[in-house]
Amino acid sequence: MKAGLPLIIIGTIMFIIGLVLFYSIQMGQTDSNLRFAKNIGTFIGLTGIGVAFAGMVIFLISRNAPPIQENFDIENKE
């Protein structure tokens, strides 16, 4: 299995988890644990974006491109 597809899936899941953690906590919370969870959500979300982007790049690089077939036949038309 190509390495790019699992990275794209993992990055997308990380991004969704980060969104849930970030938006599930209200902005004005004073509890340090809740603020920490919100900051962790930001970190996980941004890391997930990076992982998904890396997966896309690896997927595009590792695709099997069709080989270039060059034709060197020269026809003399006289």
What is the Cα gyration radius of the chain? Answer: 24
Distance spanning both ends of the chain, measured CA to CA: 54
Return the sign of the alpha-carbon dihedral for residues 52, 57, 60, 64: negative
* Contact yes or no for 62/4 (Cβ under 8 A): yes
How far is the C-alpha of 10 from the C-alpha of 17, rounded, in Å?
11
* Contact yes or no for 7/55 (Cβ under 8 A): yes
Structure-block tokens of residue 27:
């902005």
* pLDDT higher than 70, residue 78: no
* pLDDT tens figures, 17-42: 999 988 888 877 778 888 888 889 99
Whether the predicted model's global pTM rises above the 0.75 cut: no
